[in-house]
């Protein structure tokens, strides 16, 4: 996996960190994954076990407590994950196809917006100091899903009537093979959705190069 952004992310997370600090850093991140696969979960499970010499059960607890949300569902759960519908990584499952298909939401927003996990992911996104778009195609539907309502710089408490200034966010993203004109349009669209964005930096680079170029910004130390 060397040469991939998974590897680069893992290195940043465990830089100068014992296991407890590594877990703390993980808890401060929320992964919103639009793909159906479980490659991030599978990679972290194996990488943690090898790097920190944790046992399978301890490792499973760490990964199961990561903040990971698949808006459009996923193709089953890995053997160590806490769900009855299992689908082992890298194996073709033909005996439970119907059950696995029930986990896929196929771009039907009506099935997502009232989901509690979806609301939690949005809240985390709204309050984040830094947001990174990695390999994200910026389809309008996906942007609308992340921002179901426009976010203002201030928020008024209904009970007390006190208005407070919310967290300012810094956005970064990969815009690989996206023209400069389209990039400007996308950034403008996202900024209109969230007035708290202080700055949005997007470069025409791949995810792994993104980590190489912006390692000081991504650093968790």
Residue 113 domain-assigned (yes or no) = no
Compute how many other C-beta atoms are within 10 angstroms of the C-beta atom of residue 185.
13
Report the relative pairing of strands 130-133 and 67-69 from DSSP bridges: unpaired
pLDDT of residue 140: 92
pLDDT of residue 190: 96
**Residues 194 and 151: beta-carbon distance below 8 Å:** yes
pLDDT of residue 91: 72
Q: Are residues 91 and 20 in the same domain?
A: yes
Residue 122 domain-assigned (yes or no) = no
Residue 82 domain-assigned (yes or no) = yes
Q: Are residues 154 and 188 in the same domain?
A: yes
What is the domain extent for residue 95?
1-70+73-106
- How many domains are contained in the chain? 2
pLDDT of residue 175: 96
pLDDT of residue 109: 56
Q: Are residues 154 and 82 in the same domain?
A: no
pLDDT of residue 55: 97
Q: Are residues 46 and 8 in the same domain?
A: yes
Distance, CA of 132 to CA of 170 (rounded, Å):
9
pLDDT of residue 155: 72
From 30, 19, 85, 23, select the one nearest 52 (Cα to Cα): 19
Q: Are residues 18 and 86 in the same domain?
A: yes
Compute how many other C-beta atoms are within 10 angstroms of the C-beta atom of residue 169.
20
Q: Are residues 85 and 146 in the same domain?
A: no
Write the DSSP string, 78-137. -TTSS-SSB--TT----SSHHHHHTTB-TT-GGGTTT-HHHHHHHHHHHH-SEEEE-S--
Q: Are residues 218 and 134 in the same domain?
A: yes
Residue 79 domain-assigned (yes or no) = yes
Q: Are residues 49 and 94 in the same domain?
A: yes
Output the tens digit of pLDDT for each of the chain's 221 residues.
888 999 999 999 999 899 999 999 999 999 999 988 889 999 999 999 999 999 999 999 999 999 999 988 888 778 888 876 777 787 766 666 766 777 777 655 556 666 788 889 988 998 899 999 999 989 998 999 999 888 888 776 666 766 666 778 999 999 999 999 999 999 999 999 999 999 999 999 999 999 888 888 887 76
3-state secondary structure of 144: helix
Residue 18 domain-assigned (yes or no) = yes
Residue 172 domain-assigned (yes or no) = yes
Q: Are residues 136 and 49 in the same domain?
A: no
Q: Are residues 100 and 7 in the same domain?
A: yes
Q: Are residues 135 and 101 in the same domain?
A: no
pLDDT of residue 95: 66
Tell me which DSSP letter residue 211 carries: H
Residue 205 domain-assigned (yes or no) = yes
pLDDT of residue 158: 63
């Amino acid at each position: 996996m060397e040469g991939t952004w998974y590897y680069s992310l893992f290195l940043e997370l465990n830089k100068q960190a014992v296991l407890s600090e590594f877990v703390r850093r993980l808890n401060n991140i929320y992964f919103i994954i639009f793909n159906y696969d479980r490659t991030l979960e599978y990679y972290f499970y194996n990488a943690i076990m090898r790097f920190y010499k944790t046992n399978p059960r301890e490792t499973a607890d760490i990964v199961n407590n990561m903040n990971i949300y698949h808006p459009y569902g996923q193709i089953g759960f890995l053997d160590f994950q806490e769900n009855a519908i299992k689908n082992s990584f890298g194996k073709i499952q033909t005996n439970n196809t119907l059950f696995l298909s029930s986990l896929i939401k196929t771009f039907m927003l009506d099935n997502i917006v009232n989901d509690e996990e979806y609301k939690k992911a949005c809240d985390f996104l709204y309050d984040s100091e830094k947001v990174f778009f990695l390999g994200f195609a910026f389809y309008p539907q996906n942007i609308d899903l992340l921002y179901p309502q426009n976010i203002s710089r201030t928020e008024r408490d209904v009970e007390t009537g006190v208005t407070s200034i919310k967290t300012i966010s810094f956005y970064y993203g990969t815009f690989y093979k996206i023209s400069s004109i389209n990039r400007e349009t996308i950034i403008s669209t996202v900024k209109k959705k969230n007035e708290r964005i202080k700055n949005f930096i997007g470069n025409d680079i791949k995810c792994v190069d993104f980590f190489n170029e912006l390692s000081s910004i991504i650093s968790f130390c």
